[in-house]
Structure 1
Amino acid sequence: MADRARHIALVTTTRADWGILKPLACALRDDAGIHLSIIAGGAHLSAAHGATVSEIETAGFEVAFRVPMPLNDDTPRGAGHALGTACAGFADAFAELAPDMAVVLGDRFEILGAATAALMARVPLAHLHGGEASEGQIDEQVRHAVTKMAHLHFPAAQAYADRIISMGEDPARVFAVGSLAVETIRNEAVLEWAPIARELGMDPARGVLAVTYHPVTLADDHGVGPVLALGEALALFPDMQLVITGVNADPGSSAVAQGMQRLAKAHGTNARGRAVLVPSLGHARYLALVKAAAAVVGNSSSGIIEAPALGTPTVNIGPRQDGRLRAPSVIDCAQTPNAIAGALTQALSPAMQAHAARCATPYAGDNTCAQIVDALKSVPLEGLLIKRMHERSVDDMRANVSAVELVR
């Protein structure tokens, strides 16, 4: 048994999480002590979201199991049915593959389905990017639910590790490793923007903004209103080109997507404010866009994590990312045209451009990928499924609450 390679199932459901997980997948595949199986589901298998499973296969990986989910109904009922389908599909995947451990990232509702299926299949769960906060969306509750179902934790910052421990998790199972996305940016060359711009029909010599706006799932209108405000604000910067990326498959996504399509069409008719809407750029091309952009504008976590690591300012609109650690290059603003325009003016200023180019990110780690692989290989499986509440004294808990509040 000791000589057998440990079987790790890596779960991915979107273009965004695959972009982060890809270097980990490469390291696991190339390690003689690991047998890797990739389970792909959700938006990866949806033509409306770019059928991004092809990115996994193009990278040289075989998808061991596919978990399709109905993503055409973005009502609460539809999302609930999709979650139930996800849970059933991942249950089939774990039954067929019988991995020693499963790895999931983040906080999307599909990941809750994977975690629940792993729990019922008695498959130990390793969770990346736990302990964070995003108070404007249901992902906040999903993330913490997955934390309580997980057996190993790989948060992207020490403050998030502290939060996980404050939730009763064993400190010996919590590894503050930093963000894989930040490590990838530091270790790998980012693609040149010019050929990508020309492919999109844009002028590489002109300024460009990366516009990434997703549903705010706890808002009554899911964030449709702010899309109109965003469009009004962007109209004040006619010299900037706009690359607008596709909307996540979240509750309320169809209305937000329609709003972004109207925004792209309105700005695309103006030769001085030319816009292009791209359902999926792919992770590597998206990083090239962010690095070349004068600013990232919207409410995506990529503006909080990836953009500062690439030296690009971020205009973060509204409450979707409330609670996350921020670099000084992230400018938060209200969901009004004037607030967005003011924040964008600040982001485009020479002072902020210079500041963003040299500011530090709170998500940097030390050999992030290697630390994760080492833990996945070396943590004993025997007894791993048993989780005991890590009891702490009242004084320790109060001290930790004070530390965690610094994240806000």
Structure 2
Amino acid sequence: MKSLSMQNPLCSLRKSSNSKSLKSIALVTGTRAEWGLLYPLAKALRDNHIFNFSLLVTGSHLSQALGNTYKEIKSDGFHITAKIPILQDSSSTQLDIAKSLAATITAFSQYFLQTPCDMVILLGDRYEAFGVAIACANLNIPIAHISGGETTQGANDEYMRHCITKMSYLHFASTEIYRRRVIQLGENPSRVFNVGSLAVENIHNTPLLTQAELESTLQTPAHFLDSFCVLTFHSTTLESTNPTQEITLILQALLKSPYKILATKANADSGGSLINEVLESYMRKYPQNIVLCASLGRVLYLSSVKLAKFVIGNSSSGLGEAPILNTPTINIGDRQKGRLMPHSVISITPNPEEPQAYVQEVLDSINHLASKDFAPKNISHPFGNGTTSGQIIEILQNTLYHGTINLKKAFYDIEP
């Protein structure tokens, strides 16, 4: 076998600006929400002639139970370079996640040994991205990381994100606060950029459906979308709360409200399948009040959030996409604690050990959204002006064709 330095030319410090061959960039996506953000960047990378672009699809995209969302990627007009299965079991226990993480490291190591690339782009904080980052770090492949510096104190994504930051070479943060946090982790400011959020660009450039078009596509009951909310709830992997109990109490509260419920299934996380079982049970019991989708996909989800009276749950989209679409959010629990909270977000942390109080606090929040005291219009957000992809591509081009990559990164100390 060739040594790693021979397999990967980036083990050397110098980058030649005179190279006639295209530099190869691989973009990895493992979840539906991630693809919703990555779409504009993937499109820009695919349509330019600067790089040899590869799209690697893994994780829940390849799960039938979670909607086979790789089909959405294909319907968006993309050629999938490689499908790399990693999920070990649909039950999503902690052991299943550990096995999937190990499978990710092994599978992507094998892929990159057979198909070397000059840089890998990863987004976010999930275990799929964490596993790919470990594989890249071990093979001396530079990583460009999107959305570093954010925090999610209620999930183990928190430390996975920061680990990915330390393994990455380029950093594309979505706000100035997040950029400074990456530097605080010891990354040199010359490699850390505030490029805004891909969500802004995605929303600005995606034709959204009308209510009639959404009703026809989802085949909802009559008048369902006249007054509805979007529910997305995931397990909180660093908390001891029972996800089954919490989603049950949230549904009980929503069923007492005047709003219909358009729900999406939970991610392939520990406890996610338990949440989905409750959602499926309630959907069967209340078919006129609840529509459940394994995955809405990028266009349907954004259209739904735009038309909804509010978003509820603990998804990052309630703090990111919803404010951009001028839709208020009820954020429940600590899963997103530490992220920037636009003024359109109401955060509550009800105690599931007190069921009646939990239900009432959710109902009070819903009533508050409908009150005259809470009427956000032209919601402001700190996520940039929608030029993120162009900024990222320019930085990638300068780095790969005109810069020097030194993977022996010195820790950047902030002056006291």
TM-score (norm 1): 0.91
Is 1:258 matched up with 2:277? Answer: yes
Q: Structure 1 residue 260: deviation in Å? A: 2.0
Asked whether the 8 Å contact 1:42–1:71 carries over to 2, the reply is: no
2:307 to 292, 298, 317: 292
Is 1:102 matched up with 2:120? Answer: yes
Distance 1:295 1:103 in 2: 32
CA pair 222-3 structure 1, distance change in 2 beyond 3 A: farther
1:368 alignment partner AA: T
Q: Structure 1 residue 224: deviation in Å? A: 2.4
Distance 2:103 2:272 in 1: 19
CA pair 191-97 structure 1, distance change in 2 beyond 3 A: farther
Is 1:391 matched up with 2:413? Answer: yes
CA pair 171-344 structure 1, distance change in 2 beyond 3 A: same
Distance 2:327 2:395 in 1: 33
Asked whether the 8 Å contact 2:40–2:201 carries over to 1, the reply is: no
Distance 2:151 2:383 in 1: 14
Deviations along 1:112-169, one digit per CA (max 9) or x if unpaired, are 1100011111110000011100100010011001000000000111000000000100
2:42 to 25, 48, 51: 25
1:244 alignment partner AA: A
SS at match of 2:226: coil
**Runs of 5+ unmatched residues, structure 2:** 1-17, 351-357
Asked whether the 8 Å contact 1:136–1:216 carries over to 2, the reply is: yes
2:266 alignment partner AA: V
2:297 to 268, 282, 301: 282
Find the counterpart in structure 1 of residue 3 from structure 2.
none
1:188 to 183, 206, 212: 206
Find the counterpart in structure 2 of residue 134 from structure 1.
152
Find the counterpart in structure 1 of residue 15 from structure 2.
none
Q: Structure 1 residue 244: deviation in Å? A: 0.6
Asked whether the 8 Å contact 1:73–1:79 carries over to 2, the reply is: no
Distance 1:334 1:108 in 2: 23
1:48 alignment partner AA: A
1:211 to 231, 235, 257: 231
SS at match of 1:235: helix
Asked whether the 8 Å contact 2:244–2:278 carries over to 1, the reply is: yes
Asked whether the 8 Å contact 1:313–1:329 carries over to 2, the reply is: yes
Asked whether the 8 Å contact 1:50–1:280 carries over to 2, the reply is: yes
Of the structure 1 ranges 154-163 and 365-374, higher mean CA displacement relative to structure 2 is found in 365-374
Find the counterpart in structure 2 of residue 311 from structure 1.
326
Q: What does 1:41-190 correspond to in 2, within 5 Å?
A: 41-69=58-86, 70-190=88-208
TM-score (norm 2): 0.89
Deviations along 1:66-111, one digit per CA (max 9) or x if unpaired, are 2102242422111101100011111122122211100000011111
Of the structure 1 ranges 325-334 and 195-204, higher mean CA displacement relative to structure 2 is found in 195-204
Find the counterpart in structure 2 of residue 229 from structure 1.
249
Find the counterpart in structure 2 of residue 15 from structure 1.
32
Deviations along 1:9-62, one digit per CA (max 9) or x if unpaired, are 000001111111111011111111111101100001110111111111112211
1:87 alignment partner AA: I
Distance 1:379 1:158 in 2: 21
Question: What is the root-mean-square deviation of aligned Cα atoms in Å?
Answer: 1.6
Distance 2:106 2:285 in 1: 42
Q: Structure 1 residue 323: deviation in Å? A: 0.5
2:264 to 227, 230, 245: 245
Structure with higher RCO (Cα < 8 A, 6+ apart)? 2
Q: What is the aligned residue count?
A: 387
Deviations along 1:249-297, one digit per CA (max 9) or x if unpaired, are 00111112112223333432xx4xx111100110111000000000001
SS at match of 1:326: coil
SS at match of 2:81: strand
SS at match of 2:125: coil
Asked whether the 8 Å contact 2:154–2:334 carries over to 1, the reply is: yes
Of the structure 1 ranges 380-389 and 293-302, higher mean CA displacement relative to structure 2 is found in 380-389
SS at match of 1:48: coil
SS at match of 2:38: helix
Find the counterpart in structure 2 of residue 5 from structure 1.
22
SS at match of 1:63: coil
Asked whether the 8 Å contact 2:225–2:260 carries over to 1, the reply is: no
Q: Structure 1 residue 351: deviation in Å? A: 4.8
Asked whether the 8 Å contact 1:156–1:365 carries over to 2, the reply is: no
Distance 2:276 2:139 in 1: 36
Find the counterpart in structure 2 of residue 341 from structure 1.
363
**Runs of 5+ unmatched residues, structure 1:** 396-408
SS at match of 1:243: strand
Distance 2:194 2:237 in 1: 28
Asked whether the 8 Å contact 2:57–2:84 carries over to 1, the reply is: yes
Asked whether the 8 Å contact 2:153–2:335 carries over to 1, the reply is: yes
Asked whether the 8 Å contact 2:39–2:202 carries over to 1, the reply is: no
